[in-house]
Structure 1
Amino acid sequence: MKKKRIYWAITIIILCIVSGLIYVKMQGGQAVETTVTEKGEIKQYIEDIAVVKSNKRQTVYIEGAGKINNIEVNVGDYVKKGDVLLTMDKQDLELKLKDATAKIEAAKAQLASTDSSNYVNKIEIAQAAVDSAKVNYESITRDLNNAKTLFESDAISQQELNKAEDAYKTAEVTLKSANLQVEDAKDGAPDYLKDGYMAVIEQAVILRDSVMREIEKQQVLASIDGIILEKLVDENSMGVTGTVAFLIGDIKSLELEGNILSDDIYKVQIGNEVEVSGKAMGDLSVEGKIIKIAPEAKNITSSLGVNQKRVPVTIQINGETSLLRPGYDLDIKIITQVKSDTLVIPDSAVFDYKGSSCVFIVDSGKAVIREIKKGIESEKTIEVLEGLKEGEKILIKPDNNIKEGMKIKLG
């Protein structure tokens, strides 16, 4: 019993001391940091990360086919439009080109042979045939006239007269045929023969041009000025038509691509200003604006392995970009709302109390809890719509030691 009485006596003494200290402290005042409420500007924004991209990018494909002999560039190299990026084997195509060229020359030679100047001998031969046929015709004509006279005097039979007439007709036809051959020889080769040789030449030219185009495709050329962002093929591998070989980007024309959480995208609009910064820029920061919002969200896995629905947005950079390169990660703040001439207080001054947002104001040297209605919030400040007036004094960083009614000593 004696021990219990001693225990309770000690407890009462401690409580008295603590109560006394609290009372003294309340009477003496708790040293706190305060500020006077005032109006200003507040920006609400969404923070995220965006990737630098070239908005003038070209995917370069292999159009030919064959073994890749040489790759002339590496990732990071600057190229101009028309520069050779890689070459593929073209020996077989060069042989086909020689064959097509030879066929053209052969067909041209055949066509040249149909020229009338090459038909002089044929004309002379045909004319000789005419002369011979004419002599024969005249001889047969005389024989026919003699036969007629003899027949009238009953010196020959009807059969012999008929034979003479048939010979005459044959000689006449032979003469006409010889004359036609002379005319054909003078006109040169027949049109159908010339047309045939021309068709052969056209086909050979088409083949040659086709082979030349195939040879051209054995080189892959830069389609724009820029730097090689990606190289997707290797030397001594087989190039196949349609294979992606390079990705080229214009580093003078850059933009940012961000992916905003689908829960926040409703706040973002085309034209929203963006503050851009990051380690890649050092102390430099630039401004930008939202120029494109994708029509649908996509699944993206975060660095922590969390699958999230995010909506891609494109940001135009308005400022110095010489330090930036495609692929850099930068910090962005998308300004979704701006208010000016509104009451703004530090966010550290606000705390939850009985389900409401509250602050401590200083009233007659004492801490008094005041319920407020918050507006938009930024990184370190909060807009106050109701509950405070401009010029009132509030505690900046109230802690658990501050009690309502406690006397305040300004620190």
Structure 2
Amino acid sequence: MKKLKYFIIGLVILAVIGVGTYVAMRNSAVVAESYTVKSDDIKRFIDEIATVKAKNQRIVYSKSAGEVVKLDVSAGKTMKKGDIIAVINAEEAELQIKSIQAKKDALLALYKEATKLPTQEIINNAEANVRSIEILAENAKIDVEKAEKLVKEGAISQDNYQNALNNLKLQQEALEIANNELASIKKGPSENIKKQFEAQLSELDYQIDILNKSKGNALIEAPIDGVILETYVKEGSYLQPGIPVIEIGNDKDLYLEADVLISEVGDVKDGAQVLVYSDDLDIESITGIVTRIHPKAFSKISELGIEQKRVKIEIELSGNTDVLKVGYDVNVKIVTHDKKSIIAVPDSAIFDYEDGKYVYVVDGSKAALRKVETGIEGEDMIEIVSGLKEDDIVILNPDVEIKEGVQVKF
């Protein structure tokens, strides 16, 4: 009986020691946060800031010069196509037209005078002049023949003979000029002169046409139905052709524009899902899809003063967009990858160690180091390609106390 009694007491003591040991070990275990591995959906995003735009957003430019005498619009005003936006004083254009018309009238009078056909009286006078010079030239020829004979006989000097020759040459040249003038008179005005005058008259007509069109553009009209988004001039402003007057657009048909880095735009596809959010606007349930990726990159200076190459993309919106206004900036998440039902863990479980990516899994009640291969990274989850399976337990945010073989508790 005594032996049995001692045996029972021994068992009790061992049990007490075992419990004490377990409790001590339990109390010395490192407290950790855990996550049970499961299949999940994961999305990868590009975060950017986008600007709200209006479809058919257009800037209306002045097509004429003059002072703005009436500007009956302001930002926010609804306009119909054809409504008058501004009225420009066309008085200056009218004065310029009168000035150019006076120049044209004077030039036309010169043209008529220079191109009129010669009268018979003018032709008769030119012919009479030719005949008169012909007689003088014939007499000069006779005088040369006489002088040549007399100089040989020694009756006159060589100088006298030379004078006769000079007079003959003079009369022959005068006759040639007279014949040319007669031929020119009979031919009529020069074609070159006519073309010069006609070119100058056409140039003046062109200037008058431009000014008349400018007069017609004195009324600036809304080109589309929409809302005035911005005005660039005031009453009393003096405009030249090409100066912007207002910006108009349809504020009920909105879309977004975002500038994406060229290093990231390759992952963006037409039709990609876009999530829209803004803490300031308290946006709810607004989403979108990428509808256009512009073909040309451009340079843009970042907030840090760094020049970056970016590409503009356009995003079509869905959902209640009443809170949005043209010109607002909102945050967008452009989905570049979307995987369903894959093994994924929180990014806080993964860390770099030696030759790759690792996690701590719970093996029994101890931490065990395990290498993993990762895939795409979502907002806070990372795809696990290999190294983990469903129902594995991983330790989140492992600190310096977590080591291989360390007892952990949760």
Give your verdict on TM over 0.5.
yes
Partner amino acid, structure 1, of 2:271: G
Tell me how far 1:42 sits from its aligned partner: 0.6
**Displacement, 1:92?**
5.9
Q: 1:229 to 1:280 in 2, by over 3 A?
A: farther
After superposition, what is the alpha-carbon deviation per residue over 1:59-112, rounded to whole angstroms, capped at 9, x for unaligned? 2111222111122112232222122111111346689999xxxxxxxxxxxxxx
CA distance in 2, matches of 1:89, 1:335: 54
Map 1:329-344 onto structure 2 (within 5 A): 329-344=329-344
Q: State the match for 2:347 in structure 1.
A: 347
Task: Say yes or no: does 1:234 pair with 2:234.
Answer: yes
Q: Distance in 1 between matches of 2:68 and 2:292?
A: 40
- Cα distance in 1 for partners of 2:245, 2:344 equals 56
Q: Which residue number corresponds to residue 56 of structure 2? A: 56
Task: Name the CA shift for 1:308/1:25 in 2 (closer, same or farther; >3 Å).
Answer: farther
Which of 224-233 and 261-270 deviates more? 224-233
Question: Equivalents in 2 of 1:343, 1:72: separation in Å?
Answer: 63
Cα distance in 2 for partners of 1:54, 1:237 equals 27
CA contact (8 A) 1:28 1:409 kept: no
Compute the displacement of 1:56 (Å).
1.0
Is 1:366 paired with 2:366?
A: yes
Deviates more, 1:62-71 or 1:45-54: 62-71
**2:396 corresponding residue in structure 1:** 396
CA 1:92–1:263: 2 relative to 1, 3 Å: closer
Q: Which residue of 1 aligns with 2:222?
A: 222
Give the CA deviation at 1:373: 0.4
Matched, 1:321 2:318: no
Query: Which stretches in structure 1 are left out of the alignment for 5+ residues?
Result: 1-23, 99-207
What is the 5 A alignment of 1:60-79? 60-79=60-79
- Which amino acid in the other structure matches residue 269 of structure 2? Q
Q: TM-score, normalised by structure 1?
A: 0.63
2:401 and 2:259 map into 1 onto residues whose CA distance is: 43
Could you tell me whether the CA contact under 8 Å between 1:280 and 1:323 is conserved in 2?
no
Rate the CA distance shift 1:241–1:344 in 2: closer, same or farther, 3 A: same
Residue in 1 that maps onto 2:287: 287
- Asked if 1:246 is matched to 2:246, the reply is yes
AA partner of residue 388 (structure 1): L
In the TM superposition, what is the alpha-carbon distance from 1:210 to its structure 2 partner? 9.1
Q: Is the 8 A contact 2:84 2:222 kept in 1?
A: yes
Map residues 133-144 of structure 1 onto 2, 5 A cutoff: none
The answer as to whether partners of 1:280 and 1:328 remain within 8 angstroms in 2 is: no
Match of 1:29 in 2: 29
User: 1:366 and 1:212 mapped to 2: Cα distance?
Assistant: 92
CA distance in 2, matches of 1:25, 1:318: 58
Q: Deviations over 1:160-200 (max 9, x none)?
A: xxxxxxxxxxxxxxxxxxxxxxxxxxxxxxxxxxxxxxxxx
Query: Deviations for 1:360-389, whole angstroms, at most 9, x for unmatched residues?
Result: 100021000111000111111011010001
Does the aligned pair in 1 maintain the 2:276–2:283 contact within 8 Å? no
Deviation at 1:209, TM superposition (A): 11
Deviation at 1:27, TM superposition (A): 7.4
Q: How far off is 1:244 after superposition?
A: 1.7
Give distance in 2, aligned partners of 1:93 and 1:300: 42
Identity %: 35
Partners of 2:406 and 2:90 lie apart in 1 by 92
The CA deviation string for residues 316-355 of structure 1, in whole angstroms up to 9 with x for no partner, is 1122221111111111111111111110111111111113
- Quick check: 2:75–2:228 contact (8 Å CA) kept in 1? yes
Looking at structure 1, the residues matched to 345 and 333 of structure 2 have their Cα atoms a distance apart, in angstroms, of 21
2:94 matched to 1:86? no
Match of 2:174 in 1: none
Q: 1:375 to 1:209 in 2, by over 3 A?
A: closer
In structure 2, the CA distance between the partners of 1:312 and 1:39, relative to structure 1 (3 Å rule), is: same
Contact 2:283–2:323 (Cα < 8 Å) also in 1: no
Counterparts of 1:222 and 1:364, CA distance in 2: 76
Residues of 1 paired with 2:279 and 2:307: CA distance? 26
Task: Flag the 1:384–1:89 CA change in 2: closer, same or farther, 3 A.
Answer: same
Deviation of residue 308 (structure 1)? 1.1
Alpha-carbon contact 1:27-1:407 (below 8 Å) kept? no
Is the partner of 1:253 in helix, strand or coil? strand
Separation in 2, partners of 1:26, 1:246 = 75
Alpha-carbon contact 1:60-1:245 (below 8 Å) kept = yes
Structure 2: segments with no counterpart, 5+ residues: 1-23, 99-207
Supply the distance in 2 between the matched residues of 1:294 and 1:218 (Cα, whole angstroms).
37
Distance 1:395 1:220 in 2: 70
Give the number of aligned pairs.
Answer: 281
- 1:312 & 1:97 partners in 2: Cα distance? 46
- Partners of 1:85 and 1:222 within 8 A in 2: yes
Q: Provide the secondary structure at the position in 2 that maps to 1:345.
A: strand
Cα shift readout 1:121-165 (whole Å, capped 9, x = no counterpart): xxxxxxxxxxxxxxxxxxxxxxxxxxxxxxxxxxxxxxxxxxxxx
Question: What is the CA distance between 1:285 and its match in structure 2?
Answer: 3.4
- What SS does structure 2 have at the residue aligned with 1:264? helix
Q: Aligned in 2, Cα 1:353/1:61: closer, same or farther, shift over 3 Å? A: same
1:374 counterpart letter in structure 2: T
The corresponding residue for 1:380 is: 380
Partner Cα distance (1:95, 1:66) in 2: 12
Structure 1 CA distance, aligned partners of 2:343 and 2:25?
Answer: 32
Deviation sequence 1:258-289 (CA, Å, 0-9, x none): 01111111111111111111135414131111
